């Protein structure tokens, strides 16, 4: 999988991490990638999500706060759902490390791409784990589960940020912080390094992407994350009426995300859980 992180306005490549050899000039490829996305934005009012080109499958993810494009290319034999889930992990990790929020990004991004070179080590670490995961199906599925859950958590964060009053928002964040305080003080959690990596910040939301599935009981971790998602949904439901809750989910494209990734979600046996949680 080859990975680009690019400024969608200028076309500048902030970071490129290749794991496959291309027979074409990489600068030309970068220019083509942004040009294709800009064309679809202008002509169709939305960016590219997935295309097949040059014998490869290309996945695009964007971040409106920073105007960044995250692009991954892999063999067509690799499902778009899998590439997207892995790219989303990289996207969330990069945003948490460098973007943080709009004001921070504007004050720290001055066009010096050398700033982002250390992030190659992060991508290499994820990529190394994913290579190992290809050998062990259970681990591969766990990465996919983390990707799905991280995106759901991100979308729930958007619901809180974009649709709740400041008072309700602060109330929810206080309860989540209190919940994490109890969670991290649990003796079992303290004895499990990977469980302690689940974290919360009111600005960036819940982070689960740093968990290493080769160093934990994946069943236990998955249950912890499921309970966390359930509790956050409960807190939102306590703050709004059922009709508004479903409308906010719709506005933040939660249902679209589930439908667009339903094949993978069903393969991971998460379909019943997510639908019951977010529809009932």
Residues in the chain, how many? Answer: 280
Report for 63-67, 80-84, 268-272: range of highest mean pLDDT: 268-272
Q: Name the band, by pLDDT with cuts 50, 70 and 90, for residue 40.
A: low
Distances from the Cα of 265 to the Cαs of 66, 108, 253, 270, in angstroms?
28, 37, 16, 5
What does the pLDDT read at residue 270? 92
The predicted model gives 220-238 an average pLDDT of 92
Of 10-14, 23-27, 96-100, 227-231, the poorest mean pLDDT is in 23-27
DSSP 14: E
Q: What are the pLDDT digits (tens) for 128-138?
A: 877 766 655 67
What does the pLDDT read at residue 145? 92
Q: What domains does the chain contain, in order, with CATH numbers?
A: 2-135 (3.30.450.70), 137-279 (no CATH)
What does the pLDDT read at residue 130? 79
What does the pLDDT read at residue 41? 57
What does the pLDDT read at residue 27? 62
Radius of gyration, CA atoms only, the chain: 19
pTM tops 0.85 = no
What does the pLDDT read at residue 26? 62
Of 54-68, 88-102, 239-253, the poorest mean pLDDT is in 54-68
The predicted model gives 84-104 an average pLDDT of 88
Of 73-82, 102-111, 127-136, the poorest mean pLDDT is in 127-136
What does the pLDDT read at residue 140? 79
- Per cent of the chain over pLDDT 90 is 40
Residue predicted with more confidence, 85 or 135: 85
Query: What are the residues facing 4 on neighbouring strands?
Result: 16, 71
Mean pLDDT of the chain: 86
Which residue pairs from 71-78 have beta carbons closer than 8 angstroms and sit at least 24 positions apart in sequence? 71/3, 71/4, 71/5, 71/6, 71/33, 72/1, 72/2, 72/3, 72/4, 73/1, 73/2, 73/20, 74/1, 74/2, 74/20, 76/52, 78/1
What does the pLDDT read at residue 48? 64
Residue 173, pLDDT above cutoff 90 = yes
Q: What are the pLDDT digits (tens) for 251-270?
A: 999 999 999 999 999 999 89
């Amino acid at each position: 999988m080859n990975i680009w992180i690019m400024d969608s306005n200028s076309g500048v490549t902030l970071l490129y991490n290749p794991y496959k050899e291309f027979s074409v000039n990489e600068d030309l490829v970068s220019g083509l990638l942004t040009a294709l996305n800009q064309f679809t934005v202008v002509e169709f009012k939305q960016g590219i999500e997935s295309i097949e080109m040059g014998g490869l499958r290309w996945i695009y993810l964007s971040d409106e706060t920073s105007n960044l494009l995250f692009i991954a290319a892999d063999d067509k034999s690799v499902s778009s759902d899998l590439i997207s889930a892995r790219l989303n992990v990289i996207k969330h990790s990069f945003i948490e490390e460098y973007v943080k929020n709009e004001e921070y990004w504007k004050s720290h991004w001055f066009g010096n791409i050398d700033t982002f070179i250390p992030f190659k080590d992060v991508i290499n670490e994820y990529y190394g784990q994913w290579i190992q995961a290809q050998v062990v199906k259970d681990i591969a599925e766990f990465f996919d589960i983390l990707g799905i859950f991280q995106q759901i958590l991100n979308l729930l964060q958007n619901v809180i940020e974009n649709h709740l009053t400041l008072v309700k928002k602060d109330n929810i964040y206080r309860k989540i912080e209190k919940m994490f305080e109890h969670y991290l003080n649990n003796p079992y959690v303290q004895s499990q390094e990977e469980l302690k990596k689940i974290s919360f910040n009111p600005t960036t939301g819940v982070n689960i992407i740093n968990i290493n599935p080769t160093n934990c009981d994946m069943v236990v971790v998955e249950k912890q994350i499921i309970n966390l998602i359930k509790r956050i949904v409960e807190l939102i439901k306590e703050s709004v009426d059922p009709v508004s809750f479903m409308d906010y989910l719709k506005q933040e494209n939660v249902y679209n995300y589930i439908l667009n990734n339903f094949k993978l979600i069903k393969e991971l046996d998460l379909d019943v859980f997510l639908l019951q949680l977010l529809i009932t």
